[in-house]
Structure formats: structure tokens, C-alpha cells
Chain A
């Protein structure tokens, strides 16, 4: 059926509809904040219109019928005829969800269940109630007008649409019929004719090649951008021109451009689309625009119709041509993998150049290395997306959870422009969602409780994202009740997670909430509080090589701080050696390198600290930690690393310098080795192990008793 035939287009449809649904949701939430936000009302209308249009192209009638009612109501709202109310916005949120469901059902090629059908009917009735008083807006009537050319309505714009299908149009799996069927929905089709003069004689005919095109004159209330969007799925497979029908210059350009076997001007005149005087050389566009009203032309049905001219009405939006490309992320992953292999191969060349003492080859390898770094950065940048686009969806979650719990929440997203690898953004989404729910459910107190505590009845939840020292920090903070240390400890003792008398810092206690089954919520709700989740949240964050930290003050609120690496595939590393093993330290975490000379050694305290410019710097001896062989050099070095608020010195033997590091996962054998996040292949073929700095700091804190006094500020 249709779905089998147009798999690729359906995939695009799904992607596009997801995007439009997300715009819808965002627009509704924006309007909730500012009811006068005309841009958002317009965005909401356009999103619904686009979904309806594209669904129509695929024959998803249930989606078209349902969204049409919503679109109708929004049209009235946009024109100021109906006031947008809070309950109406809530209905639109449900409409958005139901539209999503209808799309899913259409994709699954199944029928709606009676429950789903009932919900749709209820929402349609609700929308129609809002529309009450307006004549002829029932679903049936609207749909009826959609299926035929509407000849009675007045429209604000008139467009000339001209397209020619590219030769491989059919073999690319495209069909144009659904778009032609959709024109009457967009407005009033004044003229439409197929351009058939380029079709070769039957004996020279190639049946799989497309030779045709269409010329259409369409009166419509929609913007030129909206009309363009109708061709979204075929725009790369046709030569398309859309312009205002009174734009003589564009028309003349089109006539010049089209190389049909019969002159396009003759065809347009033959079909009566334009009066012959329109093409007169001495008539300027300006003159035509100024004197159009009384010109009439003969139509194919011999009735007189107003010439397609500019009418007064809402100002048309200028078209912003998008230069963005939709690329399957697996293609970028493949590219990154190939670059990774090139980085390794180039490292081998550089190694050989050093061995051979070949300066020319070494220089070439260096140039290649710089070029690879540029390419790598460029490709990585493709994957980088602004977190704000993805985080906007949390507004809906906060809205729904708050409503369900009868809490008022002022939710703020800060630093939305911060960029992060798209894959990381996607993977962090679920943990963030869970934590936000927790913040609202357990963090923010009830209105009554807040008032009793002298707080504002409106709780504040903030999602803040910012870059810091080569990592991205995501903070979720609330001004709720904060974590109850005593309760966490009691629960941890009950569950044998800690033992009686064990000394734990505040941070250690807070970290206990990430232990499986350790929910301290008084009540289990369907939102959170089952103790299943926070451990998974931590696991998910750690799987991204990230960390999570908690700060909390009872009665004042909590802040969950997540630190994530910028990218996952290739990092700038710093190559060091300890004993016989080479290690990589992520470059962005290095503050400085110092030689551990006799001056420092004299001031060392039990090999655990050094005095670095009058600051006690905790030291982690890599040789001791990993039981490395004795150093072959007498010289020792300290690499000073920083992660968040913590600083630490890594005591190593040799320093080799910067190294582009392709992160390769290590097998199960290394699973329990502390502080190692992966491996990389060096030019010599040797393996270097990549330090997991947060884990090493954690190890140092746990095993050597270093606590916050080593914090940097």
C-alpha cells in the first residue's frame, strides 16, 4: 500500500511531524507564559497546518480530519475572533498528544481502538465547542470543503506554482498526485494544467522517466512559505517555482527558464491563465500591480474570474531559505570512525618519521595531523546541537507533573544555547526528565507547606547548562525542602548500604540516594518515589563518562550537578608514562605540569600532598595505584588536573605531550580497574590507557581521606 511504496518519504514524514509536534508543544507552553505572544500563536497554527498538510499527502485521513478542526480554531484565534484561554491551551496540549497518537496509529497501519476513538471524539467536540457560533465549522462540513475546489471563499494571496519533475522522479519512489489533491485544501485552484509537451513519442519513451510538469494558479490565505512546505518531501526531485501571480518579473524569469518544447507563455495563454496584455513588453510590473483590479480573463469553463492579482490582506512573510540538511546520524558516526582510523594511521606515520629521523616525513605528518584535527573538529561540530532545543520539551513535563500534583512551578531553562553532542543530549534526556519529576514531586513542597514556611507558593525549578573546563555542566536546582540527611542515613542503614558508625560527609550521604532501592519519599506516587530510578540515572550519566554531584540545604533546596564530556569519540589527550605503561590524560582537564624535583619532594607529606605555591595539592601516585614497574628514568613529574571544584596531581614518570586520542572501549577485564575510561592505539601500535579523572579523584577522596579541603575555591 502507500506505506510500502513510500518508505523513505514516510521516514521523513515521521521526522518532520515529530519536529512539528515539538514546535506545537513549545508554542503552547510559550503562550501559557505570554497569552499575547502572536509569534507563538502563529507557530502553533503553522505546526498544526503542516502536520495536516503532510499527513494529507500520505492519505492519513484521521490525522487530517482531527487536525483540521484544531487548525480552524487556531485560525480564528490568530485573527483575534476567538480568545485563547487557559483551558483551551490545555485542550491543545491534549490535541498535540492525540495527533501524535493518530500518527503512530497510521504508521502502524492499524485501526483506532474504541478508547482512542472516544478520546478523539471528545477532543473534537471540545474544539468545536470553542468554535461554537461560527457557521459551517463542523468536521464534516470542513472536510467536504476540503475535497473540492472552494469557489466561494475570498483569499488574500494568489500564487503561480510551476514545477517540472526530474527524470528519476518516479524511480526515486515519488508521486505527485497527493500534492495535486492537496491544492484545493490550500485554497481555490484557479487554473491547473499538466505540461505534457515534453513527453516523447511512444517508441522513444522510457516508462520509468518523468517528463511532465504542472502549472497552477492558486488563491490561498496561506503564506508562500506554507505553500513551499507542501512540497517538502519532493522538493529535491522537482524543479519548483512559486511566486505571487502578479509578480511579472518572476513570471518572465520563469518563461526564460523553462525549456519546454512548447513555449510556456503560449501554454499559459492557451489555458487562459494570464491575459495576453500581461506579457506586453512595454508594460512594467509596477503598472500591472497598480492597475490590476478590472482585468478579467477567460477561464477554461468560460466564466469570468478576477485576474490573479495581489490583494490587500496580511503582510506576507519573507521567505527564509533554509540551508540545513537532514543527515542520518549514522553517516556522521561512520565519518567519525573513519577519521579516527586516519588519526591512528597518521600517528603511525609520525612514529616512523621519528624512528627514521626523517624531518620531511615528520613535517608532513604534522601538517596532516593539523588537517585531521580541523576535519575532526568540523565533523564533531555537525553533531553538536544547542541543548535548549531538546530541553524545551521538559517544560511540558514540568507543566503536567505540577498540574497533577497541584503545585505551581516557575520553571526556567538557562544556557539553552550551550552546545553538546546530539547523542549525549538524547541519552541525558531520560535522566533529566526523571530528576525534574523528582524535584517537583519531592523537592518542591505543597503550596500550603510553602506558605507556612514563609516561602512563595510558586516553587522555582531551574535547569542551567554551561561549559566548564572542557566539560558541560547541567544543573537542576530547586528551592524546595532539600534533602533530609537523617532520613537518607536511616534508610541506608535499614538497607545495609552503610554500617552504623561509618563516617560520611554530607556529600557522601547525598550520594546514597543513587543506591538502588533507596527512595526516601514518604509516599510512592506514579511520578516518582519508588526508589527505582536514581540508581539508573547515575548509571546512565556514568555511561556517558559523566558524573553527578548533589548539594542540598534542608529547607532551602537542592542542586544536582551533572558534568558531561563534550564529545564521546575523539579527545585531545596528553600522553604520559608510568612504569611500562602509557596513559592519556584528557587535555582539557590539565592545569599544568611540574617536575617533581627535590624542592617539592622535601615538602611532600607522606607522598600524599605537595606544596604547590603554598597550596596543598593532593597527589595520586599512578605507579603505586596500578602497581607499575619501577621507573627507568630518575625524573618524575606531576600532572595537575582539575575537575569541577577539585584539583589533584597525578604523579607519573615521563611526559610526551599532546596526542589526538581516539577512544576505544576496553573489555570486561578492565571493568573494575578504577580510573580508566578506555584505551587508545598509539602510532607504535602500543595501547595507552585513558584516565577517567573524575573517578581518580573519587578514588583519592575515598581511599586517602582527602575531602573538600582540596577543593579549588
Chain B
């Protein structure tokens, strides 16, 4: 799934969650962050939740095309582990 926004945050989280859940139920989650330059903690938390659930259910989980800006935020939040399986 491609997120077509530059900035994603709490106001977008319901939509993103619905989309992620759909992929999760489809058996594979790949999130393309190529257009995203800013995320907030609600988004990071959703990504962690997704990663944890995918690991639990042995479903592939990938973050794709992470921009430097988003990578920096993940690092600042000690969440680099989300990028371990980045494509």
C-alpha cells in the first residue's frame, strides 16, 4: 500500500489503520512511505503494532522507500527496529 501523503499523523490514523488491517487480513503487509516526510507517534505506534502482529502471525511485514526524514524520526524515537525489514 502506498501512502499518498507527505505528513501522516493522528488525524489520518483511522484511514491508515483500516488500510493496514485490510493488508494484514490479506496475509502480507507492505507499506510504501516514499511520499511521507513526517510522521507522529500515533503512526509509529501503529507501525509497531503491525510489525508485532505480523511477527506473531508469521505474516511478512515490510516498510518500503523510507525517506531520510522519516528514518531520522524513527531513530530519534529509538524505533530503528522498524526499518530492519525495510525494502
Interface, chain A (partner B; CB < 8 A)? 5, 165, 170-171, 173, 175-177, 180-181, 192-194, 196, 199-203, 205, 207-208, 210-212, 214
Query: What is the interface size of chain B, counting residues whose CB is below 8 A from a CB of the partner?
Result: 25
Interface residues of B in 48-87 (CB under 8 A from A): 48-50, 52-53, 56, 73, 76-79
Pairwise interchain contact B52-A208, C-beta atoms closer than 8 A? no
Q: Contacts of A202 on B, CB cut-off 8 Å?
A: 20-21, 24, 49-50, 53
Once the chains bind, are B40 and A207 in contact (CB under 8 Å)? no
What are 17 contact pairs spanning A and B, CB under 8 A? A180-B76, A192-B78, A193-B78, A194-B77, A199-B48, A199-B52, A201-B49, A202-B21, A203-B21, A203-B53, A207-B14, A207-B16, A207-B42, A210-B41, A210-B42, A211-B45, A212-B48
Interchain CA distance A211-B24 in the complex, whole Å: 20
Q: Which residues of B contact A205 (CB under 8 A)?
A: 17, 46, 49, 53
Q: How far is the CB of B18 from chain A (nearest CB, A)?
A: 9
A200: which of B10, B49, B78 is its contact (CB, 8 Å)? Answer: B49
B40 and A177 contact, CB distance less than 8 A: yes
Complex alpha-carbon distance, A192 and B75, angstroms: 11
Chain B residues closer than 8 Å to A173, beta-carbon distance: 10
Complex Cα distance A143/B42, Å? 28
A180-B77, A201-B52, A202-B21 given; A212·B14 CB < 8 A: no
B82 CB to nearest chain A CB (Å) = 10
Instruction: Tell whether B13 is near chain A: CB-to-CB under 8 Å.
Output: yes
- Chain B neighbourhood of A175, CB < 8 A: 9, 40-41
- Cβ-defined partner of A171 (8 Å) among B10, B49, B53, B73: B10
Chain B residues positioned under 8 Å from A176 (CB to CB): 41
Query: Contacts A199-B49, A201-B53 hold; do A208 and B24 have CB atoms under 8 A apart?
Result: no
Question: When the two chains form the complex, which single residue of A5, A177, A211 contacts B77, counting CB atoms closer than 8 Å?
Answer: A177
A170 touches B16 (CB 8 A): no
Q: How far is the CA of A199 from the CA of B46 in the complex (A)?
A: 9
With A and B bound together, what is the CA distance between A177 and B45 in angstroms?
A: 12
| 6 A-B pairs with the lowest CB-CB distances in the bound complex, closest first | A202-B53, A207-B17, A207-B13, A170-B42, A170-B10, A192-B78
Closest to B77 in A: A180
A170-B41, A177-B41, A194-B78 known; A208 vs B10 contact (CB < 8 Å): yes
Contacts of A210 in B (CB 8 A): 41-42, 45
Report yes or no: A208 in contact with B13, Cβ–Cβ below 8 A.
yes
Taking A165-B41, A201-B53 as given, write out 14 further A-B residue pairs in contact, using a Cβ cutoff of 8 Å, ordered by the A residue number.
Answer: A170-B13, A170-B41, A177-B40, A180-B78, A193-B78, A194-B78, A196-B52, A199-B48, A205-B46, A205-B49, A205-B53, A207-B17, A208-B14, A210-B41
For the complex, what is the distance from the CA of A211 to the CA of B13, rounded to whole Å?
15
Hey, which chain A residues are within 8 Å of B56, CB to CB? 201
CA–CA, A12 and B40, complex, Å: 20
Give B65 Cβ to nearest chain A Cβ, in Å: 21
* Assembled-state Cα–Cα distance A449/B55 (Å): 87
Bound CA–CA A192/B16 (angstroms): 27
Minimum CB–CB distance from A189 to chain B (whole Å) comes to 9
Q: How far is the CA of A202 from the CA of B25 in the complex (A)?
A: 10
Residues of A within 8 A of B17 (CB): 205, 207
- Known A177-B73, A202-B20; judge A194-B42 contact (CB<8 A): no
What residue of chain A has the Cβ atom nearest to residue B12's Cβ? Answer: A207
Name the residue of chain B whose CB is nearest to the CB of A165. B41
Within 8 A of A (CB), among B15-55: 16-17, 20-21, 24, 40-42, 45-46, 48-50, 52-53
Q: CA–CA, A534 to B80, complex, Å?
A: 65
CB distance from A387 to the nearest CB of B (A): 43
Chain A residue at minimum C-beta to C-beta distance from B11: A5
Nearest CB in chain B to that of A189: its residue: B78
Bound CA span A5–B11, Å? 10
